[in-house]
Amino acid sequence: MRRLTLMISLAALALSMTACRSFKLEPPEGFAQVDDDKYGARMKAGDDVGLNLRVFDNVEGGTLGFWSEDLVKKLGKRGYALVGQNAVTSRNGVVGTRFDFDYTPPGTTAKKFYAAVLFVSDANVVVVQLAGDEARRSHWAPKIDGIAGETIVRGCKLGKKTCRGPQPGKLTSPPADPIVGMPTETAAEAPAPSPS
């Protein structure tokens, strides 16, 4: 009887240690994990495509719609252009939304792709991010739905609807904020050089 009690106690302890974590995502094929803690994980593919998972505490009233609008607005102000949005579901049934963006870092012509999958539970906001050079989009971007589908998101409370809430409406990126120190005029708006 003591042995059975000890085994049950050890099993419960092991389960509680893994259940404390707000997410679970094993490195997908082609990625190596380079960082991992209770706030997320960072993974890297051999071709410099990055896969990050970040966890934030949710707040009262924090729904998928609320955080989706926040994410698209903040990224739009930083120059990310939303080019796609669709529903996804985590491995354990938490409803999420995938957002695809185009991005060109200021002062460069290097086009990038960025996908963010947003999951919201009662306790947490989980963002799965995939980013890299535009030339890598066709290989990696189709895999993000599968990666999202393998993610386990914890923090759902019984009787609450946050984890199974409705999808946000169709969102669009706001105009980017001007970047301090970067020229804001186009060639057509620039004054003509004065004759010398």
Tens digit of each residue's pLDDT (9 = 90 or more) over 74-118:
999 999 999 999 999 999 999 999 999 999 998 899 999 999 999
What domain range is 73 assigned to?
A: 22-162
User: Is 190 a member of any domain?
Assistant: no
C-alpha dihedral sign at 163, 166, 170, 176: negative
Which run of H or of E encompasses 105?
none
What is the pLDDT, as a whole number, of residue 2?
58
CA–CA separation, 69 vs 73, rounded Å? 6
- Kindly state the percentage of the chain with pLDDT values over 90: 67
Q: Which residues contact 85 (CB under 8 A, 6 or more apart)?
A: 97, 98, 99, 100, 168, 170, 171
Number of domains in the chain: 1
User: Is 66 a member of any domain?
Assistant: yes
pLDDT at 130 over 60: yes
**Left (φ > 0), alpha (ψ -120 to 50) or beta: where does 2 sit?**
alpha
What is the pLDDT, as a whole number, of residue 6?
44
Higher pLDDT, 25 or 164: 164
User: Is 137 a member of any domain?
Assistant: yes
User: Is 106 a member of any domain?
Assistant: yes
Across the strands, what pairs with 42?
35, 52
| Residue 134 DSSP class | G
User: Is 144 a member of any domain?
Assistant: yes
User: Is 176 a member of any domain?
Assistant: no
User: Is 177 a member of any domain?
Assistant: no
DSSP result, 70-101: HHHHHHHHTTPEEEEEEEEE-TT--EEEEEEE
User: Is 192 a member of any domain?
Assistant: no
pTM for this entry: 0.80
Cβ-contact 94, 121 below 8 angstroms: yes
CATH of the domain at 94: 3.40.1000.10
